[in-house]
């Protein structure tokens, strides 16, 4: 069953959904749209295509405490984290970001599962939102992702002609929709037709985007060493600043660091996002296996396009969200890498 | 979600510290209530940390057949290890593990003649295997150990080597140091050359650990003697943070050294990008 509500009444829906749990959605603040907890008067931007940072923060936060210590002389006490987690809702997630959760799941839920991530996945209800106006930097179609209807998430939504359409797809999605049910109207055949028309329109736009036909088929395990040893990595990476912006805006980058911070009355061990673009990522007292930015740059793309798929049934660790295309200060990105090294079938594009 | 189990260490206590060489100490670690923190297999590693200083991966040098304690031989070479070298007996530390794929002591090694080749602190992971093999002596054939270091003073576990390994039945222990020094009447020369000079028959499984350059030349030397890469095992070292194949740091090709290694058969390394 699909439901609808007029878009001008969405603040009522957000208020009801946020009554008993945190609700995260794209909110503009200081000119920047990010997933933020909803509060009265929040500038919710369902029209903004992609948040600056991806939605992965909600499951894999940029920093989180793992464990604390106190030391006294030779003694150490381990203080476990008391954060118990709580159910939350996540609305306005685009198909690309929703797909990234599956990619992260395959890392964090593989045994031994990351219990913090797992708890957040269980606590979170994801409502996806179809992309009314995909941008030129979008290439989700090349990754087999449908911007018109996400295959991931607990409920799907569309916005067309002043209506917000909401369709639960999992039991968790059903339960969440039930909490806002008093505000919703059941859809009829005309509504179904409107959503179908919306999907068709989105599909037509996607078909015309410049990178939708990017061919990644050369990036697979049997070509690993050939691609790895390609001399063109040098020119591709020549201008890379090693700033790591691509990894911080990327929905699938999952590398992390573990560090200790002296708090004054103890020590907090925390986890924080890290980037293979940084020189100290692999630096040991015994040596440094990736000496220059060429190797670091190569690692990031090899991991996304070859290594990760080798371990995950051919699934690429990229969702085509285009954030790195928009944010890289030297305009280098995964599309350029794929076009350069992906074989001549990409020459036309 | 009170605890991210895989990343939370256990509390251990250092119950003995042995000065092995000028820059290597061997730390005996017990659970605070006595006994071992956890069981492991030869070649596996553990994350050792001092809160506020750092956490790093070290091979467990004691054999799993030691039921009383675990040992780590640690070379002073960085921030955490310098700190560890200053601690005293009774110091509590944090340990989590065990991590990684061990040496195939119960499968490929069983019933075989074994050749161990180590350089410097590279003996640490092999010592676990060697003492395991000594414990289950009847399960293995002849054992040869080629071990070298910069100088006689840099040979780790020297007393154990002389007093126990040399006395073991069907054990050939071949020590070497890089340069002549007074009081040393043993072999002088680099490990890879010594391995070639000793001209071992090829009906053995070889296990190498040491600096990357030593591993490279020893492997080449063994191949000259007629060894196939499928007969040669090594153990690798890369920077690690999580130990469970998630933080991304020790990724080489489709492998993660922390969980798919650190032990690799040398033919497996050919399938990986040369980035270690």
Same domain (yes/no): A146, A242: no
CB half-sphere exposure, A78, CA atoms < 13 A: 20
**B142 and B170 in contact (C-beta within 8 Å)?**
yes
Same domain (yes/no): A300, A169: no
DSSP string computed for A186-242: E--HHHHHHHHHHHHHHHHHHHHSTTTT---TT-SGGGHHHHHT-TTHHHHHTT---
How far does B236 lie from chain A, in Å, by closest CA? Answer: 12
Mark yes or no for CB contact B52/A262 under 8 Å.
yes
How far does B237 lie from chain A, in Å, by closest CA? Answer: 9
Write the pLDDT tens digit of every residue in B95-145.
999 999 999 999 999 999 999 999 999 999 999 999 999 999 999 999 999
Mark yes or no for CB contact B239/A285 under 8 Å.
no
Determine contact: B212 vs chain A, CB below 8 A.
Answer: yes
Does B1 have pLDDT greater than 60?
A: no
Tell whether A15 is covered by a domain. yes
**B271 and B261 in contact (C-beta within 8 Å)?**
no
Write the pLDDT tens digit of every residue in B35-77.
999 999 999 999 999 999 999 999 999 999 999 999 999 999 9
Tell whether A37 is covered by a domain. yes
What's chain B's Rg over C-alpha atoms?
18
Give residues 199 to 238 of A whose Cβ lies within 8 Å of B: 221, 224-225, 228
Tell whether A268 is covered by a domain. no
The CATH number of the structural domain formed by B113-235 is 3.40.50.80
Helix (H, G, I), strand (E, B) or coil at A343: coil
Say whether the peptide bond before residue B61 is cis (omega within 30 degrees of 0).
Answer: no
Same domain (yes/no): A228, A150: no
The reported pLDDT for the residue numbered A81 is: 81
Same domain (yes/no): A36, A152: yes
Tell whether A289 is covered by a domain. yes
Same domain (yes/no): A103, A229: no
Helix (H, G, I), strand (E, B) or coil at B114: strand
**∠B59-A280-A342 over CA atoms, to 5°?**
100
Q: Which of B59, B78, B254 to mutate to test the interface with A (most CBs of A within 10 A)?
A: B254
Same domain (yes/no): A164, A92: yes
Contacts of B24 in chain A (CB under 8 A): none
Mean pLDDT of A319-333: 94
The reported pLDDT for the residue numbered A348 is: 60
Same domain (yes/no): A170, A314: no
Contacts of A76 in chain B (CB under 8 A): 11, 51, 92-94
Tell whether A77 is covered by a domain. no
Mark yes or no for CB contact B239/A282 under 8 Å.
yes
Distance between alpha carbon A115 and the CA centroid of its chain, in Å? Answer: 19
The reported pLDDT for the residue numbered B2 is: 43
Is this complex scored with an ipTM above 0.85? yes
The reported pLDDT for the residue numbered B6 is: 81
Q: Retrieve residue B140's tokens.
A: 């293995």
Of A66, A71, A254, the CB nearest to B4: A66
Mean pLDDT of A15-27: 95
Q: Looking at domain B5-99, which CATH architecture does it have?
A: Beta Barrel (2.40)
DSSP state, residue A126: E
pLDDT grade for B158, boundaries at 50, 70 and 90:
confident
Mean pLDDT of A231-241: 95
Contacts of A65 in chain B (CB under 8 A): none
The mean of the pLDDT values for chain A is 94
Same domain (yes/no): A36, A108: yes
Say whether the peptide bond before residue B231 is cis (omega within 30 degrees of 0).
Answer: no
Same domain (yes/no): A189, A304: no
Mark yes or no for CB contact B51/A260 under 8 Å.
yes
Tell whether A300 is covered by a domain. yes
Same domain (yes/no): A202, A300: no
Residue B19's DSSP bridge partners are B25
Considering Cα of A139, then A143, then A148, then A149, what sign does the dihedral take? negative
The reported pLDDT for the residue numbered A344 is: 74
Domain definitions of chain B by residue range:
5-99, 113-235
Determine contact: B32 vs chain A, CB below 8 A.
Answer: no
Of A74, A114, A289, the CB nearest to B275: A289
**Distance in Å from the first CA to the final CA of chain A:** 41
DSSP string computed for A43-89: -B-TTS-S-SS-GGGGTS-SEEEEEEEEEETTEEEEEE-------EE
Considering Cα of A211, then A213, then A217, then A223, what sign does the dihedral take? negative
Does B189 have pLDDT greater than 90?
A: yes
Q: Is residue B31 classed exposed, middle or buried when 0-12, 13-18 and 19+ CB atoms within 10 A define those classes? A: middle
Distance CA B257, CA B276 (A): 10
Query: What interhelical angle do B191-198 and B212-225 show, nearest 10?
Result: 20
Tell whether A67 is covered by a domain. no
Q: Report pTM.
A: 0.93
Q: What domain range is A283 assigned to?
A: 221-252+274-346
Same domain (yes/no): A39, A123: yes
Distance CA B254, CA B99 (A): 18
Mean pLDDT of B207-223: 94
Give residues 40 to 79 of B whose Cβ lies within 8 Å of A: 51-55, 77-79
Q: Which of A106, A284, A298 to mutate to test the interface with B (most CBs of B within 10 A)?
A: A284
Mean pLDDT of B235-256: 93
Q: Tell me how many domains chain A contains.
A: 2
How far does B250 lie from chain A, in Å, by closest CA? Answer: 8
Distance CA B144, CA B160 (A): 15
Does A335 have pLDDT greater than 50?
A: yes
Distance CA A62, CA A274 (A): 9
CA dihedral in degrees (A54, A60, A62, A63; nearest 10)?
Answer: 170
Compute CA distances B61 → B58, B73, B74, B97, B127, whole Å: 9, 6, 10, 14, 6
Mean pLDDT of B142-166: 93
Does B233 have pLDDT greater than 90?
A: yes
Same domain (yes/no): A328, A282: yes
Tell whether A261 is covered by a domain. no
Determine contact: A315 vs chain B, CB below 8 A.
Answer: no
**A88 and A58 in contact (C-beta within 8 Å)?**
yes
The reported pLDDT for the residue numbered B4 is: 64
Query: What interhelical angle do A10-17 and A171-179 show, nearest 10?
Result: 110
């Amino acid at each position: 069953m699909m439901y609808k509500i007029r878009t001008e009444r969405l603040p009522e829906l957000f208020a009801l959904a946020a009554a008993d749990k945190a609700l995260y959605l794209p909110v503009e603040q200081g000119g920047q749209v990010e997933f933020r907890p909803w509060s009265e008067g929040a500038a919710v931007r369902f029209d903004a295509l992609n948040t600056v940072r991806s939605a992965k923060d909600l499951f894999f936060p940029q920093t989180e405490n793992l464990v604390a210590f106190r030391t006294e002389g030779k003694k150490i006490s381990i203080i476990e984290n008391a954060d118990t987690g709580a159910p939350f809702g996540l609305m306005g997630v685009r198909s690309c970001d929703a797909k990234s959760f599956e990619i992260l799941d395959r890392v964090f839920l593989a045994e031994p599962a990351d219990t913090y991530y797992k708890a957040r996945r269980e606590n979170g209800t994801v409502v996806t939102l179809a992309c009314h106006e995909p941008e030129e930097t979008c290439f989700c179609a090349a990754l087999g992702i449908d911007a018109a209807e996400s295959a991931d998430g607990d409920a799907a939504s569309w916005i067309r002609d002043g209506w917000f359409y909401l369709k639960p797809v999992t039991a968790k999605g059903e339960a969440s929709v039930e909490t806002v049910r008093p505000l919703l109207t059941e859809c009829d055949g005309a509504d179904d037709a409107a959503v179908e028309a919306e999907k068709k329109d989105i599909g037509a736009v996607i078909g015309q985007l410049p990178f939708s036909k990017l061919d990644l088929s050369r990036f697979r395990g049997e070509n690993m060493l050939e691609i790895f040893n390609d001399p063109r990595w040098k020119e591709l990476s020549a201008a890379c600043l090693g700033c790591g912006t691509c990894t911080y805006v990327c929905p699938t980058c999952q590398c992390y660091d573990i560090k200790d911070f002296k708090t004054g009355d103890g020590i907090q061990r925390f986890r924080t996002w890290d980037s293979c673009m940084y020189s100290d990522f692999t630096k040991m007292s015994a040596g440094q296996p990736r000496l220059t930015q060429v190797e670091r740059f190569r690692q990031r793309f090899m991991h996304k396009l070859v290594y990760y798929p080798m371990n995950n049934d051919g699934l690429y660790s990229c969702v085509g969200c285009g954030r790195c295309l928009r944010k890289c200060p030297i305009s280098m990105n995964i599309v350029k890498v794929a076009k350069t090294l992906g074989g001549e079938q990409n020459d036309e594009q | 979600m009170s605890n991210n189990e895989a990343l939370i260490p256990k509390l251990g206590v250092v119950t003995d510290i042995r000065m092995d060489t000028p820059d290597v100490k061997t730390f005996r670690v017990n659970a605070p209530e006595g006994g071992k923190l956890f069981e492991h297999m030869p070649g596996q590693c553990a994350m050792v940390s001092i809160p506020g200083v750092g956490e790093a991966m070290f091979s467990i040098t004691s054999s799993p057949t030691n039921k009383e304690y675990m040992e780590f031989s640690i070379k002073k070479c960085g921030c955490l290890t310098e700190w560890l070298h200053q601690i005293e007996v009774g110091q509590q530390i944090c340990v989590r593990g065990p991590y990684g794929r061990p040496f195939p002591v119960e499968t490929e090694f069983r019933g075989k003649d074994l050749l161990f080749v180590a350089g410097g602190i590279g003996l640490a992971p092999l010592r676990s295997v060697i003492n395991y093999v000594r414990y289950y002596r009847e399960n293995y054939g002849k054992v040869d150990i080629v071990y070298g270091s910069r100088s006689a003073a840099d040979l780790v576990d020297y007393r154990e080597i002389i007093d126990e390994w040399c006395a073991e039945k069907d054990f050939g222990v071949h020590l070497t140091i890089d340069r002549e020094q007074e009081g040393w009447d043993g072999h002088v020369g680099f490990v890879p050359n010594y391995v070639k000079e000793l001209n071992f028959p090829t009906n053995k499984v070889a296990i190498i650990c040491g600096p990357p350059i030593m591993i490279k030349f020893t492997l080449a030397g063994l191949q000259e003697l007629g060894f196939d890469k499928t007969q040669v095992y090594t153990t690798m070292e890369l920077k690690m943070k999580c130990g469970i194949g998630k933080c991304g740091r020790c990724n080489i090709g489709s492998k993660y050294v922390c969980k798919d290694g650190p032990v690799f058969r040398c033919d497996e390394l050919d399938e990986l990008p040369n980035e270690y």
